[in-house]
Amino acid sequence: MKTKELINTVSQLFAGDKGLLAMDESTATCNKRFEEAGIPQTIEYRRAYREMIVTTPGFGKYISGAILYDETIYQATKDGKLFIDILKEAGIVPGIKVDEGTMDLAGFPGEKITMGLDGLKDRLAKYYELGARFAKWRAVITIGSVIPTRGCIEANMHALARYAAMCQEAGIVPIVEPEVLMDGAHNLKKCFDVTQKVQHVLFDQLFAQNVNLQGVILKPNMVLPGSSSPKQADIDTVAEATVTCLLESVPAAVPGIAFLSGGQSPETATAHLNAMHVKYRGKLPWALTFSFARAIQQPALDVWKGKDENVKAAQQLLLKRASLDDAARRGQYNPAMEKE
Ligand code: 13P
């Protein structure tokens, strides 16, 4: 195993107060976001959107790694420069989403299994060749009255561990993302219990598959009440529940944790990360940062609208969100900064 290389990549990804940008929406997800924003859903618009993102001036000051999608990793700017080269020049490590999405889990109504292990070894070798040094695989866990089931959690965490082992063999740092969805009316305690259970099974499976924890990044959900729960939680309660859950589940050998935003507003996701640092800075065994997609991209997407004349304004919004998330990693974010 290329342990040194893996550890070196992890330290680049957690350098300073930086974090990751997820820009790895599948074609279907990207088209859905475009449709909502009134943007034509074509390969050229997707390319132009990703060009707008990767060419954001100064992005490398706050963003250490960008997760790409298969379509995007081969794409280039209008002038013919590969996105992957632009990222590298900006000091941003290129990463790649390698799962192939979810399908219904046979025998478990209402639950999903993530696909993509078949042929993964060859795809990883190809992505390494192209310059990707880390990867992402997302497992989806839904909370309902009788779910998640043990069968669903075990199948998904096993797949995550097999993926992680294959990545490490290829010299690629695996981001393991077990996402407990916000959808539902459940309370915060329910999310805490499910998230903890999922993480316990995940680390059990990572041990069983001989994954080196020093070369892994965990990408978890924050612990939140369901989005339609009548009882929402304040910022500090979420921060405390999230860190407590992680302390009870995640071994100290894991170097870093990078949160997904999961449908939280950009301001809320930033405030939660900030509150964790205010309360626990210097007291945690692992680094805590962001790996947001929507919570970084959404304001910029709304302004861009598929038009060249909006590129600059959209890039300013991307840079602003990234800088606020970077401040949150220092515990120095303040909602008043949103207006500056
Ligand atoms: P969100 O931050 O929009 O949840 O996306 C993160 C991600 O990478 C989902 O897989």
The contacts of residue 110 (CB under 8 Å, 6+ apart) are 142, 144, 147
Q: How many whole angstroms from 262 Cα to the centroid of ligand 1?
A: 6
Q: What is the pLDDT of residue 324?
A: 98
Q: How many CB atoms lie within 10 A of CB 155?
A: 20
Q: Say if residues 289 and 258 touch (Cβ distance below 8 Å).
A: yes
Q: Length of the chain, please? A: 340
Closest ligand 1 atom to residue 261 Cα is: 2
For the chain, the domains span: 3-335
Helical pair 311-329 and 266-280, crossing angle rounded to 10 deg: 20
- Summarize pLDDT for 251-263 with one digit per residue, the tens: 999 999 999 999 9
Distance, CA of 119 to chain centre: 23
Please report the pLDDT score of residue 1 as a whole number. Answer: 76
- DSSP structure class, residue 331: T
Residue 21 alpha carbon to ligand 1 centre in Å: 9
Q: Is 81 helix (H, G, I), strand (E, B) or coil?
A: coil
Which residues of the chain fall short of a pLDDT of 50?
A: none
Which of 221, 222, 261, 270 gets mutated to test ligand 1 (max ligand atoms within 8 A of its CB)?
261
DSSP state of 146: S
Query: Distance from the CA of 338 to the center of ligand 1, in angstroms?
Result: 22
Question: Mutate which of 227, 260, 290 to test ligand 1's pocket (most atoms within 8 Å of Cβ)?
Answer: 260
Identify the residues whose C-beta falls under 6 Å from ligand 1: 22, 138, 177, 260-262, 292-295
- Among protein residues, the one with the nearest Cα to ligand 1's atom 10 is 138
- Ligand 1 atom with the smallest distance to the CA of 22 is 8
Counting from 1 in the atom list of ligand 1, the atom nearest the Cα of 292 is 2
Look at residues 263, 261, 259, 223 and name the one whose alpha carbon lies nearest to residue 239: 223
Query: Could you tell me the distance, in angstroms and rounded to a whole number, from the CA of residue 43 to the centre of ligand 1?
Result: 21
The residue assigned the tokens 């001036």 is 57
Nearest atom, ligand 1, residue 269 CA: 2
| Ligand 1 atom 4, closest CA | 262
| 221 Cα to the center of ligand 1, angstroms | 9
Its CATH class, for the domain covering 3-335, is alpha beta
Average per-residue pLDDT for the chain: 98
- 8-state DSSP, 335: G
Residues marked as catalytic: 177, 219
Best of 175, 222, 292, 318 to mutate for ligand 1, by most ligand atoms within 8 A of CB?
Answer: 292
Backbone dihedral angles phi then psi of residue 184, each to the nearest 5 degrees:
130, 175
pLDDT of residue 97: 98
